[in-house]
Amino acid sequence: MSVITRFAPSPTGFLHIGGARTALFNWLFAKHHGGEMLLRIEDTDRARSTEAAVTAIHEGLHWLGLDWRGEPISQFARADRHAEVARQLLADGNAYYCYATPEALSEMRETAKAEGRSMRYDGRWRGRDPSEAPAGASPVIRLKAPQDGATVIQDLVQGEVTVQNTEMDDMVLLRADGTPTYMLAVVVDDHDMDVSHVIRGDDHLTNALRQRQIYDLMGWSAPHFAHIPLIHGADGAKLSKRHGALGVEAYRDMGILPAALRNYLLRLGWSHGDEEIIDTAQAIAWFDLEGVGKSAARFDIPRLESLNSHYIRTMDEAELCKLLAAQLCQGQARELSAVEAARLPLALDALKERAKTLIELADKAGFLLDGRPLALEEKAAKLLEGEAPAILARAHACLGAVEDWNLEPLTEAIRGLAEAEDLKLGKLAQPLRAALTGRNASPGIFEVLYFLGRQESLDRIGDHMA
RNA sequence: GUCCCCAUCGUCUAGUGGCCUAGGACGCCGGCCUCUCACGCCGGAAACAGGGGUUCGACUCCCCUUGGGGACGCCA
């Protein structure tokens, strides 16, 4: 039997970080077993589903590098099939019409809450004859759930979970307007699509027991369930859309690489011994449900950034160079000039180990762009005070004599000058750095000269010498 | 309120009864390297929620307490 998983988001917003991890786990599990993942949009609630959200989910998954089998499935498109199953349950005596109005129901809940009882549907229409139905009212169809005994699932992450049937009420299967509820649709679809493993957030754990009742009454065998713990915010509170849950595109905009986010999300709730850096191929080879932890994890940005810096340093340079160029042009009305673009690959190696995100990378690469006279950061301006202009004048003269503008000759020239002047190298390097980059921190000063080229370097030094 | 789930350094986690003087990673602190910032290297502080059992022996098994989370919709 082949492994089929599904990622089944509701299209009510962007692909948030918890959903992204759920998708990743489903994808990895399927890949690991040579199976496939389905994408099913759970859009049975027409009022809350939007096309924009569907698009956002597609784009989010695409950016993350996750794919699925075939076309995305719209759950709503299968409403007829869901209704058919509801009618069969009805015909078999495993479901019944309920004429309780929404108002009556919420009143019932209020009373139960006030009296400290559990807020369940009381089954008032369970045994009644259809002839008692109020005229003109359109009923919902409810499952006639077992009233004694217990329902059990063997969860691949949480273990055996048991709930007494007295704790569960008769859930609505088909709404008054004839559309299916999620609870029915999810069971019918997972069954019809031969889903072998349902991997989802553990906020669905108690739902699984209710769904189990439908499987049992239909005489279907249930898929394997794996309820993975939720992700919390840095403060430990639930990560929700109101509380810091960002869409994956927010991480893209923060300059996070998809590979880094995958690795981070993988290690949040799953482990393989002490392994930390796990690329996607390795993840597919290793991923299993036994490695999934049971407790919720907090989202920690510094750790994500640490992983991100690793992937920035190790990724393909040409690829990174493209990302850097794109980032540098962001918000800028102009393209990079040929001269500027040529500096990027030269400097990339030095730059990339100083950046945790693409944003930082672009920021630190800023000095490579033309724009004399350079804007000076405060600390850089300080470095250009006092005897600095005089020193720069001598450096300018010294560098002007360098014919072969390469790392070794430049190093020799500057070191030679420092020695001749009996200056510590820092005394010379810091003003140069300030004049050349406008900052007090940058890659090594010989490299900076080399990246910028002869003319630009000399011009920038000239701007600040006495 | 009722039911369900969870509980190791600040954070992510290793640990499946003796290998634990509890390991790794991020972060933090100190040092080295050094033209600055990073990288790298070396070192440090830092945890088994509490209480009962079971056992020759519990981080590991059981129970209770506490704490956290989730679910109780004609939402998904």
| pLDDT score of A105 | 87
CA to C1' distance (Å), from A247 to B50 = 39
What's the CA–C1' distance between A158 and B61, in Å? 17
Contacts of A339 (CB under 8 A, 6+ apart): A370, A453
In this complex, the answer to whether residue A11 has its CB under 7 A from any atom of chain B, a nucleic strand, is no
A255, A328, A340 from A334: Cα distances, Å: 21, 10, 12
pLDDT band at A244 (very low <50, low <70, confident <90, very high): low
Q: What residue has its CA nearest to the C1' of B37?
A: A441
Name the burial class of residue A104, with classes exposed (0-12), middle (13-18) and buried (19+) by CB atoms within 10 angstroms of its CB: exposed
Q: Is the CB of A149 under 7 A from strand B?
A: no
Lowest mean pLDDT among A86-90, A106-110, A195-199: A106-110
CB proximity A237–strand B (7 Å threshold): yes
CB A204 within 7 Å, strand B: yes
A167 touches strand B (CB under 7 A): yes
Average pLDDT for residues A384-391, to the nearest whole number? 92
Indicate the helix (H) or strand (E) that contains A259. Answer: helix A258-267
Q: Give the pLDDT score at A102.
A: 85
Can you give the distance from the CA of residue A437 to the C1' of nucleotide B39 in angstroms?
20
Nucleotide showing the shortest C1' distance to residue A120 CA: B72
User: How do residues A422-451 score in pLDDT, each as one tens digit?
Assistant: 989 999 999 999 999 999 999 999 999 999
Q: If residue A98 lies in a helix (H) or strand (E), which one and from where to where?
A: strand A95-98
Residue closest to sugar C1' of B6 by CA: A295
Would you please indicate which residues of A are annotated as catalytic (active-site) residues?
241
- Residue A94 DSSP one-character state: S
Q: Per-residue pLDDT for A455 more than 70?
A: yes
Task: Report pLDDT digits (tens) over A149-198.
Answer: 999 999 999 999 999 999 999 999 999 999 999 999 999 999 999 999 99
Mean pLDDT of chain A: 92
Q: Residue closest to B4, CA→C1'?
A: A206
Percent of chain A scoring above 70 in pLDDT: 98
**Pairing of β A231-232 and β A297-298:** parallel
What's the complex ipTM?
0.94
Which residues 42-61 on A are within 7 A of strand B at the CB atom?
42-45, 48
For A32-88, how does the pLDDT look when each residue is reduced to its tens digit (9 = 90+)?
999 999 999 999 888 888 999 999 999 999 999 999 999 999 999 999 999 999 999
Q: Return positions of chain B under 7 A from a protein CB.
A: 1-8, 10-16, 23-27, 34-39, 68-76
A286 CA, B20 C1': Å apart: 27
CB of A152 within 7 Å of some strand B atom:
no
Report percent pLDDT > 90 for chain A.
82
| A367 CA vs B46 C1’ separation (Å) | 40
pLDDT tens, residue by residue, A285-343: 999 999 999 999 999 999 999 999 999 999 999 999 999 999 999 877 788 999 999 99
Name which of A239, A228, A236 is nearest A268 in CA terms: A228
So what's the pLDDT on residue A245?
A: 66
DSSP 8-state symbol, A133: P
Instruction: Give every CB contact of residue A24 below 8 A, 6+ residues apart in sequence.
Output: A64, A66, A262, A265, A266
Confidence (pTM)? 0.94
